[in-house]
Amino acid sequence: MTELIAKGLTLADRLEDAEFRLLPGELVVIVGPNGSGKSTLMRLLAGQGRPDKGSVRLGGHDITRLSPIERARHLAYLPQRTEVAWPIAVADMVALGRFAFGGGEVARGAGDAARWLEEVGCAPLARRSTATLSGGELALAALARVFAAEAPLLLLDEPAAALDPRRQIDVMTRLVARSRAGQGIAAVLHDLNLAAQFADRIVWMKDGRIVAESRPDPSVIASRAADVFEVAIHVEPGIGGHASGLYIKR
Amino acid sequence: MTRVNLLLAALLLLAATLAVMAGARGFSPALLADWLSGRDPAAAIILFDIRLPRILAAASVGAALGLCGAGLQALTRNPLAEPGILGVSAAATLGATLTLYFGLAAAWSWALPLGAIGGAGLVTALLASAAVRTRGMATLILIGVGLSSLAGAAMALILNFAPNPFSLSDLVNWTLGSVANRSLADLGLTFPFMVAGAAMLLTQRRSLSLLAIGEEAASAHGLDFRRAQIAVVVGTGLATGASVALAGAVGFVGIVAPHVVRPWVGYDPGRTLVPAALAGAAMLILADMLVRLLPTDTELRLGVVAALAGAPIFLLIALRRGTVRHD
């Protein structure tokens, strides 16, 4: 059973004493104001860079000691910024997600790419050059690449930020389905609405600290949002403990 | 992709065949027939002792530079990268001119190639040690630019102190780049270094493809960035150093060859490596053939022709790329 456990993660001025757990089968959403340390947390969780203090353990092993290949087979990470240096085809870009499984897999992956592109609703883009994609399309192609890695754990830094409302809901629905199928997913989101409707668990960050962890309970969300974002919000209660929607009051 | 490689290999063979027939008096297919029938004993000497070493030298230098250019462009994710930017070419040139300046090259024929490889090796070791400690390409490129300028300044110093006009022209001529009068022994000395460098670069083919999505994303998908960086830097150092040792400074092949073949391999940086080497080899064989065919009083230098032909091609590619990108 793969699980990701971070203890006492500290990185100068950016992150302080963060405790975090990601288990298979759950969808955890991390929210917090700009500069609150969400991306730093994600990067350290993904084994990109070393913390000043604390540790990240993936399936019981210190993540900084795992080989990059070994790590990539258990944990896929989507950085916040998508970059593609050359105008390669979308299908080829998605196939790069198979890297950890060997060269043959990358070559085969170009043929299989349609499957993962389909999942993010971008199947028609397979033969297009990545240089001609819009920002949102590129973000979806990058998400398909991370799906292609077929790792048990996913860390996604703002997978929905560049997307239109329809696509945001589609992507979140896919993430829920994947977590129900057994993947452990942690995603940074800026949209409290999506967090309230789809998360199993919400991690609240402020000033480089994890200030709270909560269930997506409407009343809890309202009080936490007031605390962390300093805005007043109204939450519509929905079914199954989730909110059905929320709006921010001026 | 093998189709592109086969096509380029056929093109390379064609270029080499043409070059074998080309001499100071134009094309002479009759020479080949003479050699085949054994009618003219001089034919074998002309073909195998004079033309073939020269063609092989042009091909191996072109291949090494094309491959290094493709590898560095992929590693830095910068279409302008070429073996020159890391300072390896400049250091190799300096090493070679030092042996000329101190008269070592005249005393011992292996001094010059060894000097060039030594200069390249020194800079490569410096870069590799920097690569171990830094993450990211910017620092490495800056170190390369610094080393390049330093080697350039030392070169200027040597030219400044050249004892007489003859040695000055010797030095300058050598820096222009040429494969004239290279023997199979010269080739034998430098070729192993080129092969070793090329092999190191080729082991990183898949890593370089992955690097297209940026360092962090690539590392998240399982790339050992540091290892890839060191392999490409050391491989480039070996192959570039050896090619400078053999032919002096030949520019533009390293930039142009990867750009020419890139559209044929779907812009995949890893799959660009082998075609870029084949294209580089064919380009230098043709450029050297031109050098031999053009009737000039003073010997026209390969480096000059390569730059004269390469620069406009490069501009053309840059302009086309600009229009494709922004529509």
CATH of the domain at A153: 3.40.50.300
pLDDT tens-place string over residues A106-162: 887 777 899 999 999 999 999 999 999 999 999 999 999 999 999 999 999 999 999
Chain B contacts in chain A segment 7-26 (CB below 8 A): none
CB A7, CB A180: distance < 8 Å: no
Number of domains in chain A: 1
- Which pLDDT does position B327 carry in this prediction? 32
Judged by CB atoms closer than 8 Å, whether chains meet at A79 and B216 is answered as yes
Residue of A nearest to B225 (CA): A68
- Look at residue B56 and tell me whether its pLDDT is greater than 90: yes
Out of B210, B224, B324, name the one closest to residue A96 (CB): B210
- Which pLDDT does position B249 carry in this prediction? 85
- Which pLDDT does position B324 carry in this prediction? 47
Residues of chain A in contact with residue B220, where contact means CB-CB under 8 angstroms, are: 46, 48, 72, 76-79
CB B96, CB B240: distance < 8 Å: no
Tell me whether A116 touches chain B (CB under 8 Å): no
Closest to A6 (Cα-Cα) out of A245, A214, A186, A164: A186
Residue A203 per-residue DSSP state: E
Query: Looking at residues B89-108, what average pLDDT do you find?
Result: 87
Tell me whether A153 touches chain B (CB under 8 Å): no
Rounded-to-integer distance, Cα A71 and Cα B35, Å: 61
Tell me whether A142 touches chain B (CB under 8 Å): yes
Judged by CB atoms closer than 8 Å, whether chains meet at A48 and B220 is answered as yes
Q: In the block, which residue shows the tokens 């998240």?
A: B220
Residues of chain A in contact with residue B209, where contact means CB-CB under 8 angstroms, are: 96, 106
- Look at residue B1 and tell me whether its pLDDT is greater than 60: no
- Listed as own residue / partner, the contacts of A116-119 with beta carbons closer than 8 Å and 24 or more positions apart are A116/A144, A116/A145, A116/A147, A116/A148, A117/A90, A117/A91, A117/A141, A117/A144, A119/A144, A119/A147, A119/A174
How confident is residue B325, by pLDDT bands cut at 50, 70 and 90? very low
How confident is residue B326, by pLDDT bands cut at 50, 70 and 90? very low
Query: Looking at residues B140-153, what average pLDDT do you find?
Result: 88
Question: Exposed e or buried b for every residue in B16-35, given b needs 16+ CB within 10 A?
Answer: beebbbbbeeeebeebeebb
CB B249, CB B93: distance < 8 Å: yes
Residues of chain B in contact with residue A77, where contact means CB-CB under 8 angstroms, are: 217, 220
Question: Exposed e or buried b for every residue in B237-246, given b needs 16+ CB within 10 A?
Answer: bbbbbbbbbb
- Which pLDDT does position B322 carry in this prediction? 59
Provide the percentage of residues in chain B whose pLDDT is more than 70. 97
Tell me if ipTM is over 0.85: yes
Judged by CB atoms closer than 8 Å, whether chains meet at B219 and A68 is answered as yes
CATH topology of domain B2-326: ABC transporter involved in vitamin B12 uptake, BtuC (1.10.3470)
Query: Looking at residues B101-105, what average pLDDT do you find?
Result: 85
Query: Looking at residues A62-66, what average pLDDT do you find?
Result: 94
B245: amino acid identity, one letter? A
Judged by CB atoms closer than 8 Å, whether chains meet at B212 and A149 is answered as no
Judged by CB atoms closer than 8 Å, whether chains meet at A92 and B266 is answered as yes
Domain extents in chain B:
2-326
pLDDT tens-place string over residues B9-49: 999 999 999 998 888 777 888 787 788 887 788 888 888 88
Q: What is the dihedral of CA A47, A117, A121, A80, to 10 degrees?
A: 20
Query: Looking at residues B192-201, what average pLDDT do you find?
Result: 96
How confident is residue B321, by pLDDT bands cut at 50, 70 and 90? low
Residues of chain B in contact with residue A154, where contact means CB-CB under 8 angstroms, are: none
Best to test chain A binding among B221, B225, B321 (most A CBs inside 10 Å): B221
Judged by CB atoms closer than 8 Å, whether chains meet at B217 and A142 is answered as yes
Domain of A144 in residue numbering reads as: 4-249
Q: Which two tokens stand for residue A22?
A: 């990601």
Rounded-to-integer distance, Cα B206 and Cα B208, Å: 5
Size of interface A-B (CB pairs under 8 A): 86
Residues of chain B in contact with residue A43, where contact means CB-CB under 8 angstroms, are: 216
Judged by CB atoms closer than 8 Å, whether chains meet at A97 and B221 is answered as yes
Judged by CB atoms closer than 8 Å, whether chains meet at B220 and A129 is answered as no
**At CB < 8 Å, which residues of chain B contact A?**
77, 206, 209-214, 216-224, 262, 266-269, 324-325
